Amino acid sequence: MNSMEEGFWIKTFSQSQPIGSEQANIPELLRRVSESIEKLGDIEVMDIIFHNEVDSDGMSYPHLSVYYHSKDDHELSWQANLPL
Protein backbone atom coordinates (compact mmCIF):
# COMPACT_ATOMS: atom_id res chain seq x y z
CA MET A 1 0.00 0.00 0.00
CA ASN A 2 1.50 3.38 -0.91
CA SER A 3 1.50 6.42 1.40
CA MET A 4 -1.42 8.03 -0.46
CA GLU A 5 -3.60 5.02 0.38
CA GLU A 6 -2.42 4.85 3.99
CA GLY A 7 -2.65 8.59 4.72
CA PHE A 8 -0.32 10.98 6.50
CA TRP A 9 -0.21 14.46 8.03
CA ILE A 10 1.08 17.36 5.96
CA LYS A 11 3.00 20.12 7.72
CA THR A 12 4.25 23.38 6.32
CA PHE A 13 6.60 26.24 7.04
CA SER A 14 7.49 29.41 5.18
CA GLN A 15 10.85 31.08 5.30
CA SER A 16 12.25 34.37 4.03
CA GLN A 17 15.38 36.40 4.43
CA PRO A 18 15.49 39.07 7.14
CA ILE A 19 14.34 42.47 5.86
CA GLY A 20 17.33 44.49 4.74
CA SER A 21 19.96 44.55 2.04
CA GLU A 22 19.99 40.73 1.66
CA GLN A 23 16.21 40.17 1.64
CA ALA A 24 16.16 39.48 -2.13
CA ASN A 25 19.19 37.15 -2.02
CA ILE A 26 17.64 33.98 -3.49
CA PRO A 27 20.74 31.74 -3.18
CA GLU A 28 20.99 32.57 0.53
CA LEU A 29 17.25 31.95 0.98
CA LEU A 30 17.64 28.52 -0.64
CA ARG A 31 20.57 27.72 1.69
CA ARG A 32 18.54 28.74 4.75
CA VAL A 33 15.57 26.63 3.69
CA SER A 34 17.88 23.68 3.01
CA GLU A 35 19.33 23.99 6.52
CA SER A 36 15.83 24.13 8.01
CA ILE A 37 14.80 20.99 6.11
CA GLU A 38 17.91 19.15 7.34
CA LYS A 39 17.12 20.12 10.95
CA LEU A 40 13.65 18.53 10.64
CA GLY A 41 15.26 15.10 10.31
CA ASP A 42 13.65 12.17 8.52
CA ILE A 43 10.96 13.85 6.43
CA GLU A 44 9.62 13.63 2.91
CA VAL A 45 9.24 16.99 1.17
CA MET A 46 6.05 16.97 -0.84
CA ASP A 47 6.27 20.44 -2.42
CA ILE A 48 8.25 23.69 -2.30
CA ILE A 49 6.60 26.86 -3.58
CA PHE A 50 8.45 30.07 -4.36
CA HIS A 51 6.60 33.33 -3.67
CA ASN A 52 7.79 36.83 -4.48
CA GLU A 53 5.95 39.90 -3.30
CA VAL A 54 7.00 43.25 -4.73
CA ASP A 55 5.98 46.45 -2.96
CA SER A 56 5.08 49.78 -4.57
CA ASP A 57 8.75 50.87 -4.40
CA GLY A 58 9.84 47.80 -6.37
CA MET A 59 11.40 46.05 -3.36
CA SER A 60 11.32 42.26 -3.66
CA TYR A 61 10.24 40.09 -0.71
CA PRO A 62 10.78 36.45 -1.73
CA HIS A 63 9.91 33.52 0.49
CA LEU A 64 9.54 29.76 0.17
CA SER A 65 6.77 27.55 1.54
CA VAL A 66 7.73 23.93 2.22
CA TYR A 67 5.14 21.16 2.56
CA TYR A 68 6.34 17.92 4.13
CA HIS A 69 5.47 14.90 6.24
CA SER A 70 7.41 12.52 8.45
CA LYS A 71 7.14 8.80 9.08
CA ASP A 72 6.69 9.49 12.79
CA ASP A 73 3.56 11.57 12.12
CA HIS A 74 2.10 8.77 10.03
CA GLU A 75 2.75 6.17 12.72
CA LEU A 76 1.28 8.39 15.45
CA SER A 77 -1.88 9.10 13.43
CA TRP A 78 -2.56 5.36 13.05
CA GLN A 79 -1.73 4.54 16.66
CA ALA A 80 -4.13 7.22 17.89
CA ASN A 81 -6.72 6.01 15.36
CA LEU A 82 -7.24 9.57 14.14
CA PRO A 83 -9.19 10.26 10.96
CA LEU A 84 -7.00 11.24 8.04
Instruction: Give the pLDDT band (50/70/90) at residue 80.
Output: very low
The residue ranges of every structural domain in the chain are: 10-79
Per-residue pLDDT of 43-73, as tens digits, reads 999 999 999 999 888 889 999 999 999 877 6
Per-residue pLDDT of 24-41, as tens digits, reads 999 999 999 999 999 999
- pLDDT reported for residue 55: 87
pLDDT at 2 over 60: no
Q: What is the DSSP string of 33-50?
A: HHHHHHHT-SEEEEEEEE
Question: What does pTM read for this prediction?
Answer: 0.73
- pLDDT reported for residue 39: 94
Query: How far is Cα 13 from Cα 9, in angstroms, rounded to an integer?
Result: 14
Query: How far is Cα 60 from Cα 13, in angstroms, rounded to an integer?
Result: 20
Instruction: Give the pLDDT band (50/70/90) at residue 81.
Output: very low
Using only the alpha carbons of the chain, give its radius of gyration.
16
